[in-house]
Structures are given as C-alpha cells and as structure tokens.
Amino acid sequence: MSFKIATIADAETAAGFALAGVQDVHIHERKEGTLAKLDELLVSKDVGIVFITYRIAEELGFEFRRRIKTKKLLPVVLRIPDKTGWLPKVDELHEIIRRTVGAEIIVKGGS
C-alpha cells in the first residue's frame, strides 16, 4: 500500500527534505503547534513515515515519548539528526539492546 512521507524539522532541514520530494513538511516553532501536527500525522491514514529531528523530539520531551509508546503500527516515526548533528546522550536503540540482552553491545556507526 502507498503512503506519504512527512517531516517535522527546522526550516533548513525541512527545505532539504522538500527538495528531495517530501511534500508534507512542518517547520517547528512552538511546542503546542508541533504536538498538534504530530497528533494529526499519527492518526492520518495516508502517512507512512514521519521524520522528526532529535532536537525537536527532545524539546517535546515526555509528550513525544508517550505518543511513540501508544501509537499504532503506522506511521513509522524515525528521529534524525539535523545539521548540527545533535544527538541525545542516551541512544534508544542501545537502551533496548541493553535491556533485552542484558549486556553492552556496541553498534557500529551509532553513537
């Protein structure tokens, strides 16, 4: 089945994605506006993937994490670095690996 791609980012990153062919871009300004947009995307039947920058996800904090935990299978939400390359201290995937396997495993290429 076909789906659209959406992006939630700062203006520059959004421009880059738009040039690549992502039609639905939301430029983040205020928390409430962005959360509303995210909610809209999470219930949309057309959207298959949502890209959101690590920075913005961090700013949305608990509200973001809660939505991710309770969302349906689609859309898939992926956090991406913006041009500053900012990444949170704790890598979610590393955490999952640690919890699951009970040991530190180094993922090549990650942080």
Nearer to other proteins, 31 or 109 (CB): 109
- Beta bridge partner(s), residue 30: none
Which residue's entry shows tokens 């309770």?
A: 70
Nearer to other proteins, 32 or 95 (CB): 95
Binding footprint of other proteins on the chain (CB under 8 A)? 1-5, 11-23, 48-49, 51, 73-74, 76, 78, 80-83, 85, 93, 96-97, 99-101, 105, 107-110
Cα radius of gyration rounded to whole Å, the chain: 15
Q: Provide the H-helix boundaries in 21-91.
A: 31-43, 54-60, 62-70
CB of residue 50 to other proteins, shortest distance in Å: 9
